[in-house]
Amino acid sequence: MAGEQSASKKPAVITVNTVWCKGCEICVAFCPKDCLEMEGGKCKVARPDDCIKCMLCELRCPDFAITVE
Amino acid sequence: MFDYLQYVRQENFPHIWCSGCGDGIVLKALIRSMDKLGLSQDETVMVSGIGCSSRTPGYVDINTLHTTHGRALAFATGVKIANPDLNVIVVTGDGDATAIGGNHFIHAARRNIDLTVLLYNNYIYGMTGGQCSPTTPRGAYASTAQHGNLEPPFNISGLAIAAGASFVARGDVYNVKKLETLIGKALQKKGFSLVEVVSPCPTAFGRRNRMARPVKMMEQLRDTVVSVEKWEKMTDEERKGKFRTGILKDIEKPEFTAEYAKLIEKMRPEE
């Protein structure tokens, strides 16, 4: 469909600053598409293709450690 | 993606707050509101007292003042009267503002001076080791309430309303977009405006109250927050254990620095 070709369908780029991340798991627990996982006490982007760019992880990260583009 | 880095002092990161502390979430909501309103970083002053929340000014790249325990509002009043053109934001906590600085709090509200107060309510004294604060719920455990707290808590928003604040809202760090809107409204209000932000403290409060995991505290927020609109339609039975968020008061009344400027004009000798 035409809508699927729009710019907003570009795959999300999720970046985690592991130096600032304190591993609270808030982003992992409340991601509606289950894109994130914990690894070694820090957030890890496991399934970026599933991301719908709802931005909730970025908005709720207390450590300024996660961004979604 | 929002670029927070232009508003923060990156050299001070990672910040001092514990894993899962809500204070960072509030700071981010404040930064987004400031950005949306186009507040100048040079004409905005942030004043804080002592406590976890009061560490906030150390991380924001605006004019900042980290003052003495409970006295943030007194310092902020001085800043605002000296230069009423500045946007003055006060960042404080439940202990700082309603115990040690309780008198400053009610009188700043009564005076209706144009300050925006962000009060992070985490129900505990986090930094000093989890002692009971004026908002620790009845029955909750704290380092000074090993068998459960006996005292009823303050309703901070209710206190500010009764004391005469012109804008009072309550938000929480689970519903971040709503929090951002409330902070934006408070920043725009001419008069004493308070946003009470319910923010979890997993370390000092959660660990003593079976919510050691930050996610558990966020889930508890999600399940107990009710919007003011929905609150109105609920019965007393349904309201048990819940609290409302949204705008609780928004009125127009004479603002102190404006009244002071009028007085100066009136007293000026005629040419």
User: What does the alpha-carbon distance between residue B207 and residue B142 come to, in Å, rounded to a whole number?
Assistant: 9
- Residues in a beta bridge with A32: none
Nearest residue of B to residue A42, measured between CA atoms: B19
Q: Name the 3-class secondary structure at A67.
A: strand
Q: How far apart are CA B74 and CA B14, in angstroms?
A: 30
Give residue-wise pLDDT tens across range A7-58.
Answer: 557 889 999 999 999 999 999 999 999 999 999 999 999 999 999 999 999 9
Number of domains in chain B: 1
State the residue range of the domain holding B64: 17-228+236-267
- B75: number of Cβ within 10 Å: 20
The answer to the question of residue B40 being in a domain is: yes
**Dist. CA B227–CA B85, nearest whole Å:** 34
pLDDT score recorded for residue A11:
87
Q: Which tokens sit at A6?
A: 């729009």
Nearest to A67 among B1, B25, B177 (CB): B1
- Which residues of chain A does B17 touch, with a Cβ-Cβ cutoff of 8 Å? 62
- Per the structure, the count of domains in chain A is 1
Closest CA of chain A from B263, distance in Å? 45
Name the token pair of B79. 């800043």
Tokens matching residue A21 = 């991340």
Exposure string over A29-61, b if 16+ CB within 10 A, otherwise e: bbbeeebbeeeeebbebeeeeebebebbbbbbb
CATH classification at residue B93: 3.40.50.970
Tens place of pLDDT per residue across chain B (271 aa)? 899 999 999 999 999 999 999 999 999 999 999 999 999 999 999 999 999 999 999 999 999 999 999 999 999 999 999 999 999 999 999 999 999 999 999 999 999 999 999 999 999 999 999 999 999 999 999 999 999 999 999 999 999 999 999 999 999 999 999 999 999 999 999 999 999 999 999 999 999 999 999 999 999 999 999 999 999 999 999 999 999 999 999 999 999 999 999 999 999 998 7
Q: Decide if B1 is inside a domain.
A: no
pLDDT at A1 over 50: no
What pLDDT is stored for residue B271 in this prediction? 77
**A54: domain CATH number?**
3.30.70.20
The two tokens of residue B169 are: 């809202």
For residue B228, give both structure tokens.
């003011």
Q: Is residue B64 part of a domain?
A: yes
The pLDDT of residue A8: 57
Test the A interface: residue of B3, B21, B25, B183 with most A CBs within 10 Å: B25
Domain membership of residue B6 (yes or no) is: no
SS3 content of chain B, % helix, strand, coil (to 5): 45, 20, 40
So what's the pLDDT on residue B270? 84
With respect to residue B160, please indicate whether it lies within any of the assigned structural domains. Answer: yes
The domain of A54 spans: 2-68
Residue B21 half-sphere exposure, CB side, CA atoms within 13 Å? 24
Tokens of B154: 């303050």
Q: Could you tell me how many helices (H) and strands (E) chain A has, helices first?
A: 2, 4
Q: Are B22 and B197 in contact (CB under 8 A)?
A: yes
Chain B contact probe: residue of A36, A59, A68 with most B CBs at under 10 A: A59
Beta carbons of A62 and B20 less than 8 Å apart: yes
Amino acid at B201: C
Report if residue B114 sits inside a domain.
yes
Burial class of residue B271, CB neighbours in 10 A (0-12, 13-18, 19+): exposed
Q: Is residue B66 in a domain?
A: yes
Q: Does B12 map to a domain?
A: no
Tell me which long-range contacts B125-128 makes (C-beta under 8 A, separation of at least 24): B125/B51, B125/B95, B125/B204, B126/B18, B126/B21, B126/B51, B126/B52, B126/B201, B126/B203, B126/B204, B126/B205, B127/B50, B127/B51, B127/B52
